[in-house]
Amino acid sequence: MRKILSLVTKICKEQNLIEDGDKIAVGVSGGKDSLVLLTALKNLQVFYDKKFEIVAISIDLSNGQMNFSEVENYCKERSIPFYMKKTNIFEVIFDIRKEKNPCSLCANLRRGVLNSYARELGCNKVALGHHLDDLIETFIISLFFEGRLSTFLPSTYLSRTNITVIRPLLFVSENEISKYAENLPIVKNICTADKNTQREKAKQILSMLDKNYLNAKKKLFTAITNPERFNLWKNIKKNDN
């Protein structure tokens, strides 16, 4: 956890992600990323120069079929307030709309519920567990599947809910997270689309690049975060053909 905490502290200070008096809702899906984020922020409270509160929020996508009891116990042992919101998001996506590519809609619905519930609880920020690999994979998805250059920002203000979304793990690799997450109460992913998504294809592309080109992942991260942008067109009209 020491290395993870160091990187979390670095991005929080560089990007001013946490300020005095913040009440931060940590979106806890039950996966390794969100649980490591929750643990890191709890540890950060001990020494960080800004004083802030955290609460954990889990969104049940299947209206009671997901079991978050171990996550709730984990929070209780660490004096972290835990809240769960039941939804029928899976029913809407798979049974009603029968989405062929469900991930984007699922993410939007889930985050909408999370942000609204966080606001109800008096939070002004929501922390998500996106890490360094997610940052690069999202860039690859945007490039190869959408034809644009886009990825996560460390923080995003959402005017509709008056919530700022922060991503304190963006300097942390998935490998580093996996090392620490071995003893965490991981909740099994019951989504039928798991491992069959554009993100999985992006992981394969990234793995291929990193295998065949020295430090490809590191160079992609540097390119994304580099403040210098050369030869990228601005205000070019789309070709109608």
Tell me if 239 is assigned to some domain: no
> What is the CATH classification number for the domain harbouring 160?
3.40.50.620
Question: How buried is 64 (Cβ within 10 angstroms: 0-12 exposed, 13-18 middle, 19+ buried)?
Answer: exposed
Tell me if 241 is assigned to some domain: no
Tell me if 234 is assigned to some domain: no
Question: How many domains does the chain divide into?
Answer: 1
Tell me if 30 is assigned to some domain: yes
Tell me if 162 is assigned to some domain: yes
Q: What is the pLDDT of residue 200?
A: 86
Tell me the mean pLDDT per 10 residues along the chain, length 241: 95 97 95 95 96 95 82 96 88 72 77 93 97 94 90 93 96 93 82 69 90 91 86 64 48
Is the backbone of residue 240 left (phi > 0), alpha (psi -120 to 50) or beta? alpha
Tell me if 180 is assigned to some domain: yes
Tell me if 49 is assigned to some domain: yes
Assigned token pair, 29: 């899906």
Tell me if 220 is assigned to some domain: yes
Range of the domain at 58: 2-225
Residues 193-233 have pLDDT tens digits of: 655 578 888 989 989 998 999 899 999 999 999 888 777 77
